[in-house]
Structure 1
Amino acid sequence: MPTARNPRTPPRPGSPATLADVARAAGVSTTTASDALRGHGRVSEPTRRTVLDAARRLDYAPNRSARSLRTSVTGTIGLHVPEFPTNAEYYMSFVFGVAEQAAHAGLDVTLLSSGRLPRVDGLVLCDPVAEDPVVDRLMDAGLPVVTAERYVGDRQPAGVLWSDHETSMTGLLDHLRAKGARRPAFLACDITFDWALTLQDTYARWCAEHGVPRLQHAAPLGAPPPVLRAAVGELLAGAPETDALVCAADGAAAAVLPEIRAAGRVVGEDLLLASCVDSQAMRTAEPPITAIDLKPRQMGVECARLLGEILSGEAPHGTTRTLPVETVFRASTDRASTERAATLS
């Protein structure tokens, strides 16, 4: 007579975990495990957490073929990113993160444009712009939507992944002040999504709290380098007392370096320079540029993970999660380091 499996015995190596494996690991029936994973039935919260923990430990993925027969799902999620800056490093990394997690969960990804909405189970919207007709149509499609950053329109997504940009921007401005900057300027993005608006509001508040004038210019997100350089040239000409510059857009800080030098300014000495988005361009600039690492690939991973959990019932509608970000301090805001480099050369 065969020996019964221990309730805590994991699945055989190389075999995908089944619902029965999850139930055994959690010490519950398969019906209870199924209800807990789908958010259905009368399952207590401690039991639900135990089942979810077991599913994560076993890397359990629902049987998509069987589930499709029951619920007519497609096994595909839709992804929308702003169209104008799709060549930006942030958005490319974000897309790869979504694709990575979707593949791990056995889901396909369809990149959405302004055309017809294909059959998908749910949507990930990156930086949804308020009053954008495409975003409005996607939000009204009757599908679960997870947004990367909060949506500032009047519709409520099923889930939100966001980062505390107010704290990171405040910390960056405080860093510049600690390094001696007293007239920081801000090259903002002329766009209406949460990240851009939060940066502008934080800069205005910080200036008011420190009794310094706002020196802000705005450029369209995805603007080519000549447009960015022209904005910075105008800013420096109109406010020669500027001793620090923070650039919002991905790649903008590196793009305006020639204009700063043309104005006779030296980055890291009489002008500190920082970026609200880290990228390869910030790391390889001369000097390297202080930047906020928004962790775009991880943001994509977590958005796809949250959408998958909402679709399976593991996470309730209305779930909001936070992705920590960090500032990477480099020579462009460290006068001491640039002085040492000049001495060595």
Structure 2
Amino acid sequence: MGSRRVTLADVAEAAGVSRSTASEALSGRGRMSEATRAAVREAAAQLGYRPNALARGLRTGRTFSIGLHQLAGADAFATQYVRDFVGGVMLVAKERDYDLMFLSAHPDKPRPSQPQVDGIIIADPIADDLRALELLASGAPVVAAEQFPAGMPGSPVIRIDSTRLLEGLLDHCFAAGARRPLMVAPDANSGWGVLMRSAYVAWCAARAIEPVHVSIAFIDGFEEDEAEMMEQLLAVRPDADLVIVPTEFAALAVVGSLRSRGVPIGADGVQVACLVEAGVLEHLATPVTSIDLHPRILGAACATALIDHLESGTPIPDLTLVEGSLRLRESTGVPAR
């Protein structure tokens, strides 16, 4: 028969304090001397005491879990960005001893019940995502990992300063000779897509360049027919000397399409760049330039801000910008190393 589970009463008896004092000492609450708090913690460590999370949740009304909502659901894991973002959230959740729940994603079907979590991270909020709207109206603390599109209820946002990085990318490509750019980005349902297209149009206007861009649904970035789609998009501006796309799969499709036509990739032909970084882009025959949104760092920042707020009421600013970077490679004229 196994040994008896060590209880809070055992810790209190060993430390010579009341059960309530032991509870407050271990949770970091209550008014007591540091010596008393240290004695309780030492007794707990010596006895091997582990708090009963279920009982603690019943007392506090908390679940000690956070929810993660992403519209594309399991399909999104095809992209390195989403995998790295989730990894950052998971790392912080583990360090802070919180469970992470992946919330079901049905864009046009109401939730059957309120998710049993203390707070929520919405990755890439999309305007017509019914479940994201429900979560924002639920009353639970919410942090968004990207800009909200116009007309969508908001919450604190933590994101990369991607517009500045796009401007830097365009400046680099312009210096390498690009004068006829084509950009593909998510439509107005995506706040990120709106930011990217707005920055692109403003940059072109400042240089008297015609801003040709194509809007696609955010979820289209995970479809399997991107090669055919990119053929159609390139027809929008057949003379394009720079093509900027939103995912690594679209970048692969553009590279494949250009090669099938015998078009050189780089400053001497058509420059190619991607709005997100992925390891595969660096290992192509012609490595592709990208914007690194540092999704692992971003995911960790979202989880940290949310859990800090849940634990101590730390306010989350309306907007927090996290540093990103450019990965300049041969596809935009950077010589191979």
Residue in 2 that maps onto 1:128: 125
Amino acid at match of 1:279: A
Amino acid at match of 1:302: A
Q: Do the aligned residues in 2 keep the contact of 1:185 with 1:215 (CA within 8 Å)?
A: yes
Instruction: Give the drift of 1:211.
Output: 0.7
Residue in 1 that maps onto 2:177: 180
CA distance in 2, matches of 1:208, 1:265: 28
Judging changes above 3 Å, is the alpha-carbon distance between structure 1 residues 224 and 127 closer, same or farther for their aligned structure 2 residues? closer
TM-score, length of structure 1 as denominator length: 0.75
Structure 2 unmatched ranges of 5 or more: 1-22, 34-50
Residue in 2 that maps onto 1:39: none
What is the number of residues matched between the two proteins?
Answer: 286
Q: Secondary structure at the match of 1:251?
A: helix
Q: Do the aligned residues in 1 keep the contact of 2:221 with 2:246 (CA within 8 Å)?
A: no
TM-score, length of structure 2 as denominator length: 0.76
Q: How many percent of aligned residue pairs carry the same amino acid?
A: 30
Amino acid at match of 1:138: L
**Cα deviation code 1:144-184 (max 9, x no counterpart):** 11110122344232x32111111111111111001111111
User: CA-atom RMSD, angstroms?
Assistant: 2.8
Judging changes above 3 Å, is the alpha-carbon distance between structure 1 residues 327 and 32 closer, same or farther for their aligned structure 2 residues? farther
Judging changes above 3 Å, is the alpha-carbon distance between structure 1 residues 106 and 64 closer, same or farther for their aligned structure 2 residues? farther
CA distance in 1, matches of 2:312, 2:121: 17
Residue in 2 that maps onto 1:155: 153
**Cα deviation code 1:184-241 (max 9, x no counterpart):** 1112223522211100111111111111112222333344676433343334445333
Structure 1 unmatched ranges of 5 or more: 1-17, 24-28, 34-62
CA distance in 1, matches of 2:224, 2:87: 29
CA distance in 2, matches of 1:331, 1:175: 12
**Cα deviation code 1:236-267 (max 9, x no counterpart):** 44533311111123431122211112233111
Residue in 2 that maps onto 1:200: 197
Residue in 1 that maps onto 2:83: 92
Amino acid at match of 1:305: T
**Cα deviation code 1:8-55 (max 9, x no counterpart):** xxxxxxxxxx986998xxxxx96499xxxxxxxxxxxxxxxxxxxxxx
Q: Is 2:81 the partner of 1:82?
A: no
Q: Secondary structure at the match of 1:252?
A: helix
CA distance in 2, matches of 1:230, 1:217: 15
Q: Which moved more, 1:262-271 or 1:290-299?
A: 262-271
CA distance in 2, matches of 1:324, 1:134: 29
**Cα deviation code 1:276-317 (max 9, x no counterpart):** 100022112221111011111111111111110111124115
Q: Do the aligned residues in 2 keep the contact of 1:187 with 1:232 (CA within 8 Å)?
A: no
CA distance in 2, matches of 1:122, 1:285: 40
CA distance in 1, matches of 2:171, 2:236: 24
Judging changes above 3 Å, is the alpha-carbon distance between structure 1 residues 280 and 263 closer, same or farther for their aligned structure 2 residues? same
Residue in 2 that maps onto 1:234: 232
